[in-house]
Structure 1
Amino acid sequence: MTGTTLDDYTDRYAARVRGMTASEIRALFAVASRPEVVSLAGGAPYIAALPLDAVGEMLGRLGAEHGTTTLQYGIGQGTLELRERICEVMALSGIDVGSGASPEDVVVTVGGQQALDLVARLFLDPGDVVLAEGPTYVGALGTFQAAQADVVHVPMDADGLIPAALEAAIADVTASGRRPKFLYTIPTFQNPAGVTLTDERRDQVLDICERAGLLVVEDDPYGQLSFDGEAPKPLRARRREGVFYLSTFSKTFAPGLRVGWILAPHAVRDKLVIASEAQILCPSAYAQAAVATYLSTMPWRQQLKIYREVYRERRDAMLTGLADLMPAGTHWTKPGGGLFVWMTLPEGLDSKAMVPRAIAARVAYVPGTGFYADGSGTEFVRLNFSFPAPERIREGIRRLAGVMEQETAMRKVFGPMAGRPRTGRGQAGADVPGPDLA
């Protein structure tokens, strides 16, 4: 019997599958995980900063002493105990009872990614428009793409999303005969740009969305990882109606447990639960118990301070390395928290075309094209500083600077097409201007 090929299946795919493409970050994981490669690519937290012995003992007790419940099915919304603990976590950021933070309106999800997918399932039909910062989180782009929605990017600058540009985008979409369904935003320590929306602009953005009847989906994985004082209050702390607040324990505890949540307007909570049950039946009872027990029995607030100190040191190592080693014409953001720096390459360099040379030089990064729906962003690079040690960060910067200098030298000898891929979406939309984030 002969084996089947891809062609035997492609004409049977659902329409929504045809637009799906692999994440540029995931595609790098295989090479970035090699020990000889300095990976500045992924967004992995530094799990070794946790008290792993104590966490291991806690996890063992959950199975040994509470296995009849933690290893059993649960409810679709998530356990009440965890939802109560989540409200305590959100209160640290200013999302409290006055902001409508009730355990009844929290839906536990399998990481922040499922939270995004649930919102997309509830609100997006094929051809709908989502407004999102340009650049934006690659996982969100994949989710919206799978929902067959069109993403319209709204420019940012060093102070985050530009309110006037948001108004213009809403007007342009409306003039085309369509209505944007929601604004997707990461206002605090944005991924990938690292910038933070100012207090003044937060109120302006909320006012614009309210006037336009536009829902707001606020993604906040990094808000509690501030290095330079407290982060601005989330959008959800300022406006309770029409704002969906998404977050996760992946960046502040353990991504391997895959526990996140949505704080939703009360009117749609039940629909979110029904959609989640259709997907996964229920989130892992064991993972939920692990997070709830961690929050109830361990000094998690102190652990947040440890993470902030570790990441501040690594951010500083990256910024110092960039200042010392990068060639003229390179610019980068200076994040006040989170995990990422967004770098603008010298004129003429192509971040996607440089990837093979960078891997050969044993350094990995994510090209900017992964963060734009139209494949633009060739002049940008996302750099992660949370996982490598400070000395490895500097070594990675040194290697990357060498690759950039080689690429520049190649262009001088062979012209502007030197090192560029002959085909591929990395060139699509390359003339689209990027945000001024330098």
Structure 2
Amino acid sequence: MGNRTVAGSSLPLDVRDLHESLGSPVSASMNFLNEVSQDYPDAVSFAAGRPFEGYFDLDDVHRHLDVYRRHLSERFDGDEAKVRRTVLQYGRTKGVIHELVAAHLAVDEGIVVDPEAVVVTVGCQEALYLTLRALRATPEDVLLAVTPSYVGVHGAAQLVDMPLLPVRESAAGVDLAHLTAVVREARAAGRRPRALYLVPDFANPGGVRMSREDRLRTLRAAAELDLLVLEDNPYGLLGDPDGPPTMKALDTDGRVVYLGSFAKTGLPGARVGYVVADQPVTGPRGGAGLLADELAKIKSMTTVNTSPIAQAVIAGKLLENGHSLRAANARERETYRANLRLMLDGLAARFGAGQVPGVSWNTPSGGFFLLLTVPFAASDELLELSAGGHRVLWTPLHHFYADSEPRHVMRLSFSHLLPAEIDEGLDRLAGFVREQAAAAAR
């Protein structure tokens, strides 16, 4: 029948009458990148920041479920009705594996926290959304984020109507002088900066890992500026085990809200994340609770609870490995490090010693990503040309700035690829870059 406009009718809906975030570049980013991947299935993808699938096994899921079932049976003295109810019924809003998450944090990260401060979420994206929804109390409230930054933080901030003020990234992680200037300027304009979002370990997209000293400096700056720190840590356990501690482990002032995910270290398909929000919250009648309690109230009106079955799978993996996902991911960690070495060696072989003027790259020490600088504007249109003409995908950096302005930088992800795919993909990428560099020179 098609669309018909009826006098006095609100149909069809006008996009201008929907939430303004739906018209922003951020809202289109994920869909655009997914569609390009689907349209060119034979392309080698340096775009998808996914875990390596070579170790996935459906039998592990059943085993993890069984391990958790036995754990519950012991906990409930063999009461199978309670076991079934815990796994198959609606669960508590904060989650049913909060105690195991707290034990995992103590073992792997040196973070000692009351399990009641843990809210288990539907992926880390929900943890981020809940936190921002709680912090955004007035139109004056704003979020600060080291930019370029994960596209999901831009999207979550827009959904809760919380303006995001960019802070420059530095080789140390955060440009603290710029952070101070942005906060002071915002307050002078009547705004209220609430928190700084950052990924200290192998940040997406740049791959920067902050040193212990830089983390401490950033925590001191947050205290001086009276900011919370939202520490997002999806990749830390996949780096050098002797690397710097999390900011949450270093925090002595209670400023860090810790955002965690089991997508990279547990199972992405389970969609289980969490937030540690142990900050005290006082009310008008006195008394104090935790920020986690407030986040749970919001969650109860959005996703109600995180799938107990999905939580059970993660719980089984934690129990099977003595609560240590660092130990459970030893082979994955080596795969990612080997892939990073292949990428860096491969880029050097194809672009090193000035073979293509204007091409350079950074050298992260871990994670899933690196940045390639090129002598042309790496736009969405060029990505489609790269996919169609050279069968290789990458991510334009403007998606991490929440705008549509092309930069001379592309993000390359190497986490999910086999060595032969990396080699072939770099050959294809080199052909595309040389072609575009020549065109730009002309």
TM-superposed deviation, 1:150: 2.0
> Secondary structure at 1:356's aligned position in 2?
helix
Identify the match of residue 347 of structure 2 among 322, 329, 335.
322
Whole-angstrom CA distance in 1 between matches of 2:412 and 2:33: 13
Whole-angstrom CA distance in 2 between matches of 1:394 and 1:23: 31
* Bigger Rg, which one: 2
Counterparts of residues 10-409 of structure 1 (less than 5 Å): 10-14=15-19, 17-19=22-24, 21-33=26-38, 34-50=40-56, 52-59=58-65, 67-79=84-96, 82-97=97-112, 101-124=113-136, 125-126=138-139, 128-226=141-239, 228-240=240-252, 241-267=254-280, 268-298=291-321, 300-326=325-351, 327-346=356-375, 348-360=376-388, 361-376=390-405, 378-409=407-438
- Structure 1 stretch displaced more, 149-158 or 14-23: 14-23
Q: Check 1:358–1:105 CA distance in 2 against 1; reply closer, same or farther (3 A cut).
A: same
TM-superposed deviation, 1:378: 1.4
Whole-angstrom CA distance in 2 between matches of 1:62 and 1:86: 13
TM-score where L is the length of structure 2: 0.85
> Secondary structure at 1:224's aligned position in 2?
helix
Whole-angstrom CA distance in 2 between matches of 1:297 and 1:94: 18
TM-superposed deviation, 1:22: 2.8
Q: Deviations over 1:8-31 (max 9, x none)?
A: 343542455554743424422233
TM-superposed deviation, 1:63: 9.1
Whole-angstrom CA distance in 1 between matches of 2:199 and 2:168: 13
Equivalenced residues, count = 406
Q: Deviations over 1:194-229 (max 9, x none)?
A: 001122111111111111111111101111010x45
Whole-angstrom CA distance in 1 between matches of 2:436 and 2:25: 31
> Secondary structure at 1:354's aligned position in 2?
helix
Q: Deviations over 1:163-196 (max 9, x none)?
A: 2222222222223332212101111110111001
Question: AA paired with 1:139?
Answer: G
The residue that corresponds to 1:428 in the other structure is: none
- Structure 1 stretch displaced more, 357-366 or 157-166: 157-166
Question: AA paired with 2:124?
Answer: G
Question: AA paired with 1:105?
Answer: A
Whole-angstrom CA distance in 2 between matches of 1:357 and 1:211: 48
Q: Deviations over 1:392-437 (max 9, x none)?
A: 1122122122112211222334xxxxxxxxxxxxxxxxxxxxxxxx
Q: Deviations over 1:105-148 (max 9, x none)?
A: 11100000000100111012445321111110011111112222
> Secondary structure at 1:380's aligned position in 2?
strand
> Secondary structure at 2:27's aligned position in 1?
coil
Counterparts of residues 395-434 of structure 1 (less than 5 Å): 395-413=424-442
- Structure 1 stretch displaced more, 272-281 or 165-174: 165-174
TM-superposed deviation, 1:56: 3.8
Contact 1:371 1:377 in 2 (8 A): no
Identity score, percent? 35
TM-superposed deviation, 1:157: 2.6
> Secondary structure at 2:412's aligned position in 1?
strand
Whole-angstrom CA distance in 2 between matches of 1:3 and 1:315: 51
Aligned-pair Cα RMSD in Å: 2.5
Q: Check 1:56–1:334 CA distance in 2 against 1; reply closer, same or farther (3 A cut).
A: farther
TM-superposed deviation, 1:59: 4.2
Whole-angstrom CA distance in 1 between matches of 2:269 and 2:51: 11
Whole-angstrom CA distance in 1 between matches of 2:426 and 2:346: 6
